[in-house]
Amino acid sequence: MAGNNRWNWLLGIGFVIAILALASCYPKRVGPVGMSGDRLAWTQMSIDQKKKHMEDVVLPRAAQVFRTWRPHHYSRIDCTLCHGPDPVAVNFRMPGAHLPRLSGELLLGPEFAKHPDTTRLKLDSLVPAMSEALGLKSFSIITRRGFGCYSCHLGPGGPMFRN
């Protein structure tokens, strides 16, 4: 009995360490080298560094995803696709009011019903590509946090899931 308990205890500690290790991987250092000599994470960048990271890394990745979907419609995309017609006026603030509001339902039932192909594309390609480009963890249904649909879209009553 005692041996069994110790074993459970060790497993428990191992589990906690594994979770901490996973959690500490984010945000990833995907940006330019900062004052400390290490690369900066998205959350540590200045607004100018964020703009440059968007232009050099995020925009090309997003363009690739949108183009595989509708090559003609998205042959040229720019900052306004996500940030709206006047990004400077809203300080590049996301989620943006010019994008359609989503239902707020965790399993995206209404989105899959009304827009199955966009929803698939976003879930399978856009969210993973953007999370990677930003070095952020993808949205998890369990923790209800991370980069996902509501990093760009508002919900019925405003921003959702700490975005």
Binding site for ligand HEC (CB under 6 A): 47, 50-51, 54-55, 58-59, 62, 77-79, 81-83, 91-94, 99-100, 102, 108, 111, 115, 118-119, 122-123, 126-127, 130, 134, 147-149, 151-153
Q: Closest distance between ligand HEC and the C-beta of residue 47, in Å?
A: 5
Task: Indicate the DSSP class of residue 163.
Answer: -
The angle at the Cα of 122, spanning 100 to 69, to the nearest 5 degrees, equals 100
- Nearer to ligand HEC by Cβ, of 2 and 107: the residue is 107
Q: Closest distance between ligand HEC and the C-beta of residue 142, in Å?
A: 16
CA distances (Å), 33 to each of 53, 119, 145, in order?
12, 35, 27
Q: Closest distance between ligand HEC and the C-beta of residue 138, in Å?
A: 10
In whole angstroms, what is the distance from residue 50 CA to residue 73 CA?
27
- Nearer to ligand HEC by Cβ, of 37 and 63: the residue is 63
- Nearer to ligand HEC by Cβ, of 39 and 69: the residue is 69
Q: Closest distance between ligand HEC and the C-beta of residue 130, in Å?
A: 5
Q: Closest distance between ligand HEC and the C-beta of residue 129, in Å?
A: 9
Q: Concatenate the DSSP letters of all residues of 44-111 into one string.
A: G--HHHHHHHIIIIIHHHHHHHHHHH-TTTTSS--THHHH-S-TTTTTT-SS-TTSPPP---TT-HHH
- Nearer to ligand HEC by Cβ, of 20 and 48: the residue is 48
Task: Indicate the DSSP class of residue 42.
Answer: G
